[in-house]
Structure 1
């Protein structure tokens, strides 16, 4: 890293203070779900005394209120951030950028030499064409000799010279064509060199200058560390692998997709990923007890009619007071104190151009394998596995997880968040051997007579599952039974056999039957429901 000791021209400085200007770049970053804390670290050799450490190349959007600076080896007395009227910045090209620029120069020079060679070949062509034109004019000249011998000698000379000129022309054309064939490759080399430079140097953006006032008690090396929030994010992604057999296991191979849009490339930085969300809610919500009252509806109607002609301001005096709604409760999360993943080696991530995939670790759990059947919607049962999250951390939700069964990719799925100690329930694709069928056996609807003045509906449903394979399965079959929150809407139901669980996961009307089905076997379940509702009403 280059350091430039400059005169006191950048900022107003204390008398006799020395100024040290040094280029900087991100050296570390901690990425959260919605932003990152980026760290730049520089070291400077200084004598004892008061000095200014100038970092002229911070992103212009850095906020002075959120920027934090610390000094090792000296005391920091103040910081100043300037975003306009900056002094010229020193040349800070890295070795990779210098090499890329040199490669562009070489490619341009090769292309220029090729064009020169093409011009030389075209000059030979033009010279041969001029000679041919002269010989043609000479053969048709009116001043040709009359002596037969002299005329024969002239004709022989024209023939020989024409042949030579024609051969020269053809050779020059072939040479020019051969030379030109290399031009597309040289153009491609030049484009590749420019693309390599573009990848190393994002578009230049306005910079900010940070001045650190320090007081060194003695001469030595001081280390300045600057941190600020930046635009970046990460999200988890999983490979969920089920290994079937007597001792089935579910393995979660965890990775992270990291994106950054900070205006500069991250080159060999120390990267840490955190599950915390510092940008989220940190203060508990306020509760406002509701104010209730009752009133005479007839009196209220009279009041409303009496104020219909009043102004809006007067009407507010008699309007019903608005209830103040409580602030929305935050959605539950299972981050707890949070988990941090620090990569063992540095990483480079281009800004706004790529998503870096970072492999984290793999978690393995014992699994209970079963089949889930939903005859109302599906024609086959689905392979399921259930495990306990025995790790000490929460598993974050992921929009994309690749699903494997015994090493074979079967599809992609959403992965739901699971707290530490919670249950992981994951689907692993259809089981073609378990075929489902749902049949409505009877549906009748109509008036039950003028005396009862009620409507009614009866429905009988048969659900069948058939195992066409040679393997027995534990099955969880789900069916939805209507439910009501109105007293006048009566619902009665029965099932053969009775469901193993009613109101599954506290979802009213969701029934579950647990059973085993052997190879080449079948199972049948019937349900019947009887619904009554008041006459003149419509069932929805």
Structure 2
């Protein structure tokens, strides 16, 4: 028998023969960009007949409307979450091998601390004994009529020798004290670390809820139940390490994911699936409403009507949802239109641990590499890799850490890249490629800029100097203004002529491409002229 039932919070539970208490084990998690579907396995012994099964270890933030139950050998009735009159619950993690080992580490660390403290106490006892002996010898005074010169001499020598020995013992004991105190500090640090490690393993929210299920067992024996529920406080996002090898013209992309969950319970050794589906996001298209427009007589005494286009306020209109990229996958699979990645091997994610990193795979691509120079804005050129995603997979939006020749040069929020698409990624400044944009001297005393009431002229000299030991493929960018009015005429001259105008689809952006050898310098002269009719003002 195999049944699937939905939550029936409002249905009364029938009178049952008895209550069976059971615990669950998390076996699988499907993690979404926001939220997670958790699958739990419940095993227990049940006599034949009707019973009330009480599963006592669901997290308090379980979504009640998204609980689903299946069982291969039970008839399932009404079920509901209970938050009061719950039975006492011991921590289900107390008998795990990891927690037992962590507890043993704490016990050993406490013993080590006691031993180190005992060593310090023994040294202090030696110091106190030597100091007491010195005090006794200092207070010793000879008395009696039998005291002779010979006896006094012998007593003085004996006291002096014993005083010297006591002082030496005190100094020796004091010399042993610093390393013993250091040992105590080290032992305390070991104990603190062991306690923290045990706390991380055993962390569990004391606030929990229980799931009450009406069941009927056909016969005595072992029974099994699968519980699937949804939690909001979990997330994942892609992360990349992008390593550029300029000489080999290769880009290595190491892909991974950052996982966080705050469910109140640990996920230990679960089967993890990452999904691009967004259960919490907008699921239907936005609504368009009729837009009534009206005009009024300019001389009316009625209310002033705004000329701007208005959007009607609708209380029940669906809000716009923030779009989230698709899943980063080493071996993607499709569930309808949704891309998922099934992580190989069991995964453990403790509650409250932020950005646990899980490694996926690596992709190797061949980018086009150039030095890009913008003399009007920068003083050095920058290394730019133009990347075409020639893999069949989508590179998802996420954080990318950038390495150039194995050195970390920065990080960016990578916007993502569809299969076949192209993007530019900057890999830091090239300090040996120096840039300058200057206005040359003229006989009139102006510095490359002349302006009248109907005309404006400007001349600039762009200079790129290669102080490195390598030749560089270089792209220099500058700009001229553009006009959409017939009255405003704009012209320019450049020496050498630009390789491309309106670069990257941007009007007025000029591009020069050339190779610059080591030690060489390249100059570009750019002049522009703006002309407009008398009586008009340039803006």
**Structure 2 length-normalised TM:** 0.75
1:323 correspondence with 2:307: no
8 A contact 2:41–2:224 mirrored in 1: no
8 A contact 1:404–1:411 mirrored in 2: no
Aligned residue in 2 for 1:394: 394
Give the 3-state SS of the residue equivalent to 1:256 in structure 2.
strand
Whole-angstrom distance in 2 between the partners of 1:86 and 1:402:
52
1:437 correspondence with 2:436: yes
Aligned residue in 1 for 2:460: 461
How far 1:258 sits from its partner (Å)?
1.8
- Between 221-230 and 181-190, the greater mean CA deviation after superposition: 181-190
1:490 correspondence with 2:492: no
- The gaps in structure 1 that reach 5 residues or longer are 1-10, 305-314, 448-454
Give the 3-state SS of the residue equivalent to 2:86 in structure 1.
coil
Residues 431 and 211 from structure 1, CA distance in 2 versus in 1: closer, same or farther, beyond 3 angstroms? same
Aligned residue in 1 for 2:244: 242
Aligned residue in 2 for 1:270: 271
Give the 3-state SS of the residue equivalent to 2:293 in structure 1.
coil
Residues 49 and 506 from structure 1, CA distance in 2 versus in 1: closer, same or farther, beyond 3 angstroms? farther
Whole-angstrom distance in 1 between the partners of 2:136 and 2:468:
94
The C-alpha deviation readout for 1:218-248, integer Å capped at 9, x for no partner, is: 4444142332224122222212233345x73
Whole-angstrom distance in 2 between the partners of 1:43 and 1:134:
76
Whole-angstrom distance in 1 between the partners of 2:138 and 2:320:
98
Task: Write out aligned runs for 1:92-491 (5 A).
Answer: 92=92, 93=94, 94-105=96-107, 107-108=109-110, 183-202=184-203, 204-218=205-219, 219-244=221-246, 248-297=249-298, 299-300=299-300, 302-304=301-303, 323-324=310-311, 335=326, 337-405=337-405, 407-432=406-431, 434-441=433-440, 442-447=448-453, 455-467=454-466, 473-484=472-483, 487=485, 490-491=488-489
The C-alpha deviation readout for 1:496-524, integer Å capped at 9, x for no partner, is: 35544443344333333344556646352
Residues 380 and 127 from structure 1, CA distance in 2 versus in 1: closer, same or farther, beyond 3 angstroms? closer
Residues 341 and 534 from structure 1, CA distance in 2 versus in 1: closer, same or farther, beyond 3 angstroms? farther
Whole-angstrom distance in 2 between the partners of 1:132 and 1:516:
87
How far 1:293 sits from its partner (Å)?
3.2
8 A contact 1:440–1:461 mirrored in 2: yes
Whole-angstrom distance in 2 between the partners of 1:376 and 1:161:
90
Whole-angstrom distance in 2 between the partners of 1:106 and 1:113:
11
The C-alpha deviation readout for 1:386-445, integer Å capped at 9, x for no partner, is: 23212233212233322334x454443442321222113222333455443323342122
1:21 correspondence with 2:22: yes
Whole-angstrom distance in 1 between the partners of 2:463 and 2:139:
102
Aligned residue in 2 for 1:311: none
1:510 correspondence with 2:509: yes
8 A contact 1:33–1:234 mirrored in 2: yes
Give the 3-state SS of the residue equivalent to 1:482 in structure 2.
coil
Whole-angstrom distance in 2 between the partners of 1:135 and 1:17:
83
**Structure 1 length-normalised TM:** 0.74
The C-alpha deviation readout for 1:261-281, integer Å capped at 9, x for no partner, is: 222333222222233433222
Give the 3-state SS of the residue equivalent to 2:200 in structure 1.
helix
Aligned residue in 2 for 1:7: none
Residues 168 and 461 from structure 1, CA distance in 2 versus in 1: closer, same or farther, beyond 3 angstroms? closer
- The gaps in structure 2 that reach 5 residues or longer are 1-11, 328-336, 441-447
Give the 3-state SS of the residue equivalent to 2:345 in structure 1.
coil
1:530 correspondence with 2:530: yes
Give the 3-state SS of the residue equivalent to 1:444 in structure 2.
strand
Whole-angstrom distance in 1 between the partners of 2:287 and 2:365:
41
- Between 525-534 and 347-356, the greater mean CA deviation after superposition: 525-534
Whole-angstrom distance in 1 between the partners of 2:131 and 2:467:
86
Whole-angstrom distance in 1 between the partners of 2:116 and 2:469:
73
